[in-house]
Structure 1
Amino acid sequence: MTILAENSVSTGQKPAPYVAAYIRRHVLMTPREMAQAQQGIIAFARARGLEIAEIFVEELETVPDAFARMAEKLHGTGERVVILPGVHHLAGLGSPPLVALQAFTADGVQVLIAGHVE
């Protein structure tokens, strides 16, 4: 154990990563399907020992607001992870989906694809 400052103590364990999930609502998606998608992503994360801090849901009317908020939270230092149901959830943001993936990885963000969770 290391004392860092008067009131803070380090246990030697690295801090938990900031984990975000991003789901883009599609036109025919029902509230039940959205709930299933969110639960599927949470289960995917927990199976890997991760706890999601925030789930960003992109609404059709406000693209790319949720993505921009998430990207801002993921920018920085420390371990950061983003979980997506699939690359197709990044379509329609103005750049090809792989460009967004490359930007995340270039910034040190680990990208996990959960697969079909809807």
Structure 2
Amino acid sequence: MADGPAQITPAVGYLRRYPSMTWVELDQAVVRLAIFARRQGLFLSEVFVEQLATDPVAFDALVQVVKRRDIPVVVVPTDAHLSAVGRGETKGQRLERETGACALIAADHSQEPVGGRTDPCVCARPPYQTPLSA
């Protein structure tokens, strides 16, 4: 007998829309993020799409939503979507510093993990673990 209903971890997605990306390709990328999140046991409530001309407007909005809703996971297509935002800090580093959330890379995990990591999570905490109370 089960102990109760399974908990679904909330998540949001983030991706950059590159100039050569068509609207169909953008829609497909969003769908791929949603499918990946579902397979990881996550509920992807929304996807923030960054327009390069206004970068980091969508990322700033994402950080605020993650803080306000205490969302532990942000799903991204590849680590390139979390590259530097200035002053040498990457978006992934800023995300973890400001929110404690974990960036989960949806890229093909059959390849070598980014930075030699053995899990797809870019932050120091294990995937999906919420921050400890102070």
The TM-score range, normalised by the shorter chain, is 0.7 to 0.9
Q: Which has the higher Rg, Structure 1 or Structure 2?
A: 1
Percent of residue pairs identical: 33
Distance (Å, rounded) in 2 between the aligned partners of 1:37 and 1:17:
21
Paired residues, number: 104
Distance (Å, rounded) in 2 between the aligned partners of 1:62 and 1:72:
17
TM-score, normalised to structure 1, is 0.73
Q: Does 1:47 align with 2:39?
A: yes
Q: Do the aligned residues in 2 keep the contact of 1:16 with 1:79 (CA within 8 Å)?
A: no
Q: Do the aligned residues in 1 keep the contact of 2:84 with 2:91 (CA within 8 Å)?
A: no
Q: Give the 4+ runs in structure 1 shifted more than 3 A.
A: 12-18, 76-79
Residue number in structure 2 paired with 1:89? 81
Residue number in structure 2 paired with 1:103? 94
* TM superposition shift of 1:25: 0.4
Structure 2 vs 1, CA of residues 105 and 93 (structure 1 numbering), >3 Å: closer, same or farther?
closer
Q: Do the aligned residues in 1 keep the contact of 2:12 with 2:71 (CA within 8 Å)?
A: no
Q: Unaligned 5+ residue runs, structure 2?
A: 109-134
Structure 2 vs 1, CA of residues 43 and 80 (structure 1 numbering), >3 Å: closer, same or farther?
same
Structure 2 vs 1, CA of residues 78 and 70 (structure 1 numbering), >3 Å: closer, same or farther?
closer
Give the RMSD, CA atoms, in angstroms: 2.5
* TM superposition shift of 1:85: 0.6
SS at match of 2:74: strand
Structure with bigger strand share is: 1
Distance (Å, rounded) in 1 between the aligned partners of 2:7 and 2:38:
17
Structure 2 vs 1, CA of residues 95 and 112 (structure 1 numbering), >3 Å: closer, same or farther?
farther
User: For each residue in 1:35-60, what CA deviation from the matched residue of structure 2 results, as whole angstroms up to 9, or x when unmatched?
Assistant: 11011000100111111111000112
